[in-house]
A and B are shown apart, each in its own frame.
Chain A
Amino acid sequence: MAAHHVLYFTSEEHLLYRSSRGTLELDTKFAADEAGVDAFREYLRGRRGALFAIVADVAGEDFHEDQIPFLRGADREAVVQRRLAQRYRDTRLAAALSLGHVTTPERRNERLLLASFTNTNQVAPWLDALEDSDARLAGVYSVPLLAPALVSRLGHRAGRSFVVTMHRAGLRQCFVEDGKLRFARLERAVDLAPQALAAFARSETLRLAQYLMTLRALPRDGGPVAVLVVAPQGQRAVFERALTSDARLVFTTIETNEAVRKVGLRQLPAETGAEGLYLHLAARKAPREQFASRDDRRRYTIWQLQRGVLAAGAIGLAACGLYAGGKWLDALDLYGRAQAQAREARTAADQYARITAAFPVTQTSSDNLKVTVLEFQRIVAGSPLPESALIHVSRVLERFPQFELDRINWSVGRPDEQAKPAAAVPADAKPAAQGESAVRLEISGRVNATQRDDYRAITAQVQRFAGALAVSGYQLARTQLPFDITSEGTLTGDIRGAGADSGEAPRFTVVLLRRLQ
């Protein structure tokens, strides 16, 4: 975390503190004159880019409540700047604090507390020195601007309250209402004894309350107001005795060390009063409201942008890392499951190997054994023997003595390759499936003891013979008669007298198919 330098600005002298990791150290002091500015310039040399904040604790601070129409964005900014310019001669160190909204019969308005220093010239040279040194100005605050943050830290977040603190510059009183600054004043109180200081705090608080009632900033019948008094260390009892509560003011005394702890500071530096609480808040928990202009804070804004961009990149990287981490965890889980599966697979394989080791000894691998036999059996199934076909034909032929065979052609192959188109193919014959094979049996012969010109008798005999063959799985694929009796063919005849027959018996061909399983 970068160290913040806080310049505590009083009318007598200016003290430079360094805030880092919950500690506040007094670095150096500067006189509130030209020499002090020169010393400050000298100090800034070699601290290029350092972070600075100015906390002014001066008496000449003006607070004025005003109202503007309810606006947003650039319009509001323009109206606010106009109101500041109307109120203050020099607006370089002027701020408008929003006090919320109010609805009038005419319109909705925003309440503003306009604040500035009556003499900005005392701060301007120091701002110029910072500007010239290339330091980064986080903001110019007054103690009252930081009072709401202190009140909140001290545990009073709502309602009206006074916070009274003893500073190097004097007795500081701030009036905070519902977390918003309403008024503040600084009264000089030099070297007072504890009892006197406590009495002084009480009388000044009563005066302030009376004044605010006069201004109607504090309603008369608004109930008691909490007064938080930060007493110097070891003076709590004295303060509690002096600060007696009444119907209007309820005093609560807090010792400095307790307040230090509540704001998150480890300890106050030596020679530093309760202003250290405000300085710490300016360094670490600075409010948005401050006096410096946008131009005075430009380098700080750029620095914030740089850090913002880097933070965005880091957040993006972290988010990606988280997402990727989730994925990697998933992947690790999957790898774990895969290893478990692989172990189970190995166990099963080992078990299989152990069992198969007890199998009968083979001269080849189990896979090859199976492949060889299965493929061989497939070949055998597609290789029928011709003997059974010849026996089948022989048995049928015994029942048809008038038939004499000249040629038997037995073959194996695809049925669609073997079966030729023929009139005798049965209409209900199934088409051959892909890869099917069949036995084809082509039988050629002659029909004896029948008159050659008796077409009807020859046809009937051949068909009976073919029908007798087409059993036991054989299907009639084709029958070729000695003559063509189809409508597509030509029928010829040579009808002669008795004894005129040439003697040559009519020839026929029968084709049979038997599909293999």
Chain B
Amino acid sequence: MNFSRDELKRLMLPLIAAAAMLAAGVATIWSANGSLRAARATLAAAQQERTQNAERLARIAEEEREVKEKLDVYQQLKNLNVLGEERRLEWADALARIRTQRELLDLRYRVERQKLLHSATGKPANVDFFASTMRVELALLHEEDLTRFLADLRASGNAYYSIKRCTLERTTQQATGLTITPRLRAECVIDLITIVDGAAKT
């Protein structure tokens, strides 16, 4: 069947209307598919949240025990001032006190700039672990002076003392008999670690 120009003109409007209806139909399907995808995502998220919450609830007894255990350690860290900003003056005081108490012949130290050791992800804030590297040189009469020094240092608190290196060697100095001559020299590298808990209540 051949159509004249006039007939084609008459058919044009219904064709446009039909095309518009089909387009509207396709748009409806597209929109429905979008809604379905969004609903699936919502359901998946809700299911995941429910599973997580249920698992957390199931573990609550274990968590309570864990909290109690960890609370002791945490409290110790707080009491020892490992938690909180670093206290350089206290470190200097402690070193001077140990030298005097242990009658160490010579004690030299140098504390480097603080650096971030590790940032652990917490909730609601991160927990940052900082380290300040200290180099200590000691003149010793006996090797036990070193172990006593290290023990005193740990007991002084204000940081966790993580010893990275310690060298103990004989000195070449000969004893004169007039003065006390050190027989050993020790050199240690120690990380003074402090912890800043972003969620800690002051």
Between-chain CB contacts (< 8 Å), 23 pairs: A302-B7, A306-B13, A310-B14, A317-B22, A320-B28, A324-B29, A331-B38, A332-B39, A338-B43, A341-B49, A345-B50, A349-B53, A364-B197, A365-B124, A368-B197, A368-B198, A370-B70, A373-B70, A373-B73, A376-B73, A383-B160, A386-B163, A390-B146
A88 to B56, alpha carbons, bound, how many Å?
96
In whole Å, how far is B29's beta carbon from the nearest beta carbon of chain A?
Answer: 5
Which residues of A are found within 8 Å of B168, using beta-carbon distances?
390, 407-410
A386 to B143, alpha carbons, bound, how many Å?
12
A376 lies within 8 A of B195 (CB):
yes
A363 lies within 8 A of B165 (CB):
no
8 nearest A-B residue pairs (beta carbon): A320-B25, A313-B18, A327-B32, A348-B53, A334-B39, A341-B46, A324-B32, A383-B162
Contacts A386-B150, A387-B150 given; does A409 touch B165 at CB 8 Å: yes
A367 to B125, alpha carbons, bound, how many Å?
9
In whole Å, how far is B174's beta carbon from the nearest beta carbon of chain A?
Answer: 15
Does B92 touch A at the CB level, under 8 Å? Answer: no
Which residues of A are found within 8 Å of B122, using beta-carbon distances?
365, 367-368, 371-372
Which residues of A are found within 8 Å of B33, using beta-carbon distances?
327
Interface residues on A, range: 35 or more
Beta-carbon nearest neighbor of A298 in chain B:
B7
Instruction: Name B's interface SS.
Output: helix
Contact of A331 among B25, B39, B74 (CB under 8 A): B39
Contact of B18 among A309, A328, A408 (CB under 8 A): A309
Which residues of A are found within 8 Å of B150, using beta-carbon distances?
385-387
Which residues of A are found within 8 Å of B105, using beta-carbon distances?
none
Beta-carbon nearest neighbor of A389 in chain B:
B166
B73 lies within 8 A of A377 (CB):
yes
Does A485 touch B at the CB level, under 8 Å? Answer: no
Which residues of A are found within 8 Å of B19, using beta-carbon distances?
313
Q: 18 extra interchain contacts, Cβ-Cβ under 8 A, other than A328-B36, A338-B39, A341-B50?
A: A307-B14, A310-B17, A314-B18, A316-B18, A316-B22, A316-B25, A320-B29, A327-B29, A327-B36, A334-B40, A344-B50, A345-B49, A355-B57, A360-B68, A364-B199, A372-B195, A386-B163, A406-B170
Interface residues on B, range: 35 or more
Which residues of A are found within 8 Å of B66, using beta-carbon distances?
370
Which residues of B are found within 8 Å of A377, using beta-carbon distances?
73
In whole Å, how far is B155's beta carbon from the nearest beta carbon of chain A?
Answer: 13
Does A379 touch B at the CB level, under 8 Å? Answer: yes
